[in-house]
Amino acid sequence: MARKKITVVGAGFVGATLAQRLAEMELGDVVVVDIPATEQMPAGKALDITESAPIYGYDCKITGTTSYEASAGSDVVIITAGIPRKPGMSRDDLLNTNAKIVSSVTENIAKTSPNAILIIVSNPLDAMCLVALRTSKFPKHRVLGMAGVLDSARMRSFIAEALEVSMENVHAMVLGGHGDTMVPLPRFSTVAGIPITELLSKEKISAINQRTRDGGAEIVKLLKTGSAYYAPSASAAEMVEAILKDKKKILPCAVYLEGEYGVDGVFVGVPCKLGARGLEQIVQLNLTVDERAELMKSASAVKELAAALK
Ligand code: APR
C-alpha cells in the first residue's frame, strides 16, 4: 500500500512541530511548504526531522520546500500559515492579514491537491475556515477547522490537575467559536465517565471554564513572542490520524453548519465524526436552554467576524 501524503503549509512553530509529530506517528510522507522568503528554512527543518527518524524508527519521507510541486496529490493538507498573535492581541486582530495568506495558500492547494481534506489551524480560526471553503470550493466535508480539540485538551488538563487524576481519565467538550465566546460544556465533560458537575463545585467549574476560554492568551502572555504550538500541533495531529486511519473518531471541530444546532452559513465548533471522508457526521447533543444560548452567542460573534472579511 502506498504511503499517504500529508502537506503542512507554514513551517513555523505550529507547522514544524506538527510535521515532527506526524512523522513520529508514521502517518505518511510529510511535505512542509513555506514562502520563498524563508529560503531553505523548510528544507533545513525537514532534514533535521529526517535525521531523528533512525532514533524513533519511522520510515516516512519528510520534504521541506517553498513550492507546491512536491505537495501535489496530498491526502490531507494542514494550513498553519499566517502570523501569530503577540501579547495584548486577540485572534481577531489577525483577520485580514491571515485571510490573504490563507486564501493564497488555499488557491495553490486546490490546484495541486484537488482531492485533499483541509484542516485549518491559522487564526482567527472560524473565519479562516470560511476563507478556505470559499477559495477551494471543496465540499464542506473536506474543510475542517482545528480548535475544539485544542480547547478541550486545555480544559481536560485543568480538570485532571484539579482532581489529581490521570489525563487519560478526562474527557471534555468545548464547542462554539475559537475565541472568547467558546462554550465549555461541563455536563459533557467527564472523569472516568462521571460528569464533572458531580465532582467539582460550581465555582471551581466556572474557574476552569474561564481558564479554558483564556487558554491561548495565557500562553501568549508567557511566551511574549508568539502563540502556543505544542498543544495546537498535537490537536491537529489527532485529527489527521482520525482521518487517515478512518477511525470514525468523535472530536469537536469547526465545520460549516447549514442549520445544525440552529446555526447557518458559518464555521462553528460542534462534535464531529472524523473518518476517511473527512467530516462524516455532525453529532447532535441535547443542550439545555442556557447551553444553547451560549452557543448562539458564540455563533453570532463568528458571524460578525466573517462579515468583517474584506
Ligand atoms: N504561504 C506559506 N507559508 C506562509 C505564508 C504563505 N503565504 N505566509 C506566511 N507563512 C509562514 C511564515 O513564513 C511562517 O514560517 O507561516 C509560518 C507561520 O509560523 P509562525 O510565525 O511560527 O506562527 P505559528 O506560531 O506557527 O502560528 C501559525 O497558527 O495557531 C495559529 O494563530 C496562529 O495564525 C497562527 C498560525
Instruction: Tell me how far the alpha carbon of residue 85 lies from the centroid of ligand 1, in angstroms.
Output: 10
User: Looking at the structure, do residues 192 and 270 belong to the same domain, yes or no?
Assistant: yes
| Residue 141 appears among annotated catalytic residues | no
Atom 10 (ligand 1) nearest CA = 81
d(CA 127, CA 145): 10
Measured in whole angstroms, how far is the alpha carbon of residue 134 from the centre of its chain?
Answer: 18
* Amino acid identity at 191: V
Please say which residue of 145, 176, 198 terminates a domain: 145
Residue 25: what pLDDT? 98
User: Looking at the structure, do residues 20 and 153 belong to the same domain, yes or no?
Assistant: no
User: Looking at the structure, do residues 127 and 97 belong to the same domain, yes or no?
Assistant: yes
Angle between helices 148-163 and 215-223 (to 10 degrees): 90
Measured from the Cα of 94, ligand 1's closest atom is: 34
Measured from the Cα of 37, ligand 1's closest atom is: 13
pTM for the full predicted model:
0.98
Residue 86: what pLDDT? 81
Cβ contact 147:269 at 8 Å = yes
What length does the chain have? 310
CATH number of the CATH domain containing 204: 3.90.110.10
Residue 310: what pLDDT? 77
Instruction: Judge if the beta carbon of residue 121 lies within 6 A of ligand 1.
Output: yes
Instruction: Judge if the beta carbon of residue 235 lies within 6 A of ligand 1.
Output: no
The catalytically annotated residue of 45, 85, 156, 178 is: 178
User: Looking at the structure, do residues 153 and 302 belong to the same domain, yes or no?
Assistant: yes
User: Looking at the structure, do residues 20 and 116 belong to the same domain, yes or no?
Assistant: yes
CATH number of the CATH domain containing 109: 3.40.50.720
Instruction: Judge if the beta carbon of residue 216 lies within 6 A of ligand 1.
Output: no
Label the pairing between strands 264-275 and 278-282: antiparallel
**CA proximity to 277, closest of 239, 243, 242:** 243
Encode 222-233: b = buried (16+ Cβ within 10 Å), e = exposed.
Answer: eeeebbbbebbb
Residue with cell 533535521: 48
Residue 90: what pLDDT? 84
Residue with cell 467538550: 173
User: Looking at the structure, do residues 133 and 85 belong to the same domain, yes or no?
Assistant: yes
Residue 199: what pLDDT? 98
d(CA 160, CA 178): 22
Instruction: Judge if the beta carbon of residue 10 lies within 6 A of ligand 1.
Output: yes
How many domains does the chain contain in total?
A: 2
**CA proximity to 243, closest of 106, 80, 75:** 75
DSSP string across the chain: -PPPEEEEE--SHHHHHHHHHHHHTT-SEEEEE--GGGTTHHHHHHHHHHTTHHHHT----EEEESSSGGGTT-SEEEE--SPPP-TT--GGGGHHHHHHHHHHHHHHHHHH-TTPEEEE-SSSHHHHHHHHHHHH---GGGEEE--HHHHHHHHHHHHHHHHT--GGGEE--EEB-SSTT-EE-GGG-EETTEEGGGTS-HHHHHHHHHHHHTHHHHHHHHHSSS---HHHHHHHHHHHHHHHTT--EEEEEEEEEESGGG-EEEEEEEEEEEETTEEEEEPPP---HHHHHHHHHHHHHHHHHHHT--
Per residue of the chain (310 residues), give pLDDT as tens: 789 999 999 999 999 999 999 999 999 999 999 999 999 999 999 999 999 999 999 999 999 999 999 999 999 999 999 998 888 888 888 999 999 999 999 999 999 999 999 999 999 999 999 999 999 999 999 999 999 999 999 999 999 999 999 999 999 999 999 999 999 999 999 999 999 999 999 999 999 999 999 999 999 999 999 999 999 999 999 999 999 999 999 999 999 999 999 999 999 999 999 999 999 999 999 999 999 999 999 999 999 999 999 7
User: Looking at the structure, do residues 291 and 160 belong to the same domain, yes or no?
Assistant: yes
User: Looking at the structure, do residues 96 and 135 belong to the same domain, yes or no?
Assistant: yes
Parent domain of 152: 148-307
Residue 160 C-alpha cell reads as 485532571
Please say which residue of 85, 117, 145 terminates a domain: 145
User: Looking at the structure, do residues 274 and 170 belong to the same domain, yes or no?
Assistant: yes
Residue 92: what pLDDT? 85
DSSP string across 292-310: HHHHHHHHHHHHHHHHT--
Residue 228: what pLDDT? 97
Please say which residue of 145, 165, 183 terminates a domain: 145
User: Looking at the structure, do residues 188 and 116 belong to the same domain, yes or no?
Assistant: no
User: Looking at the structure, do residues 289 and 183 belong to the same domain, yes or no?
Assistant: yes
d(CA 57, CA 68): 28
Residue 205: what pLDDT? 98
User: Looking at the structure, do residues 127 and 243 belong to the same domain, yes or no?
Assistant: no
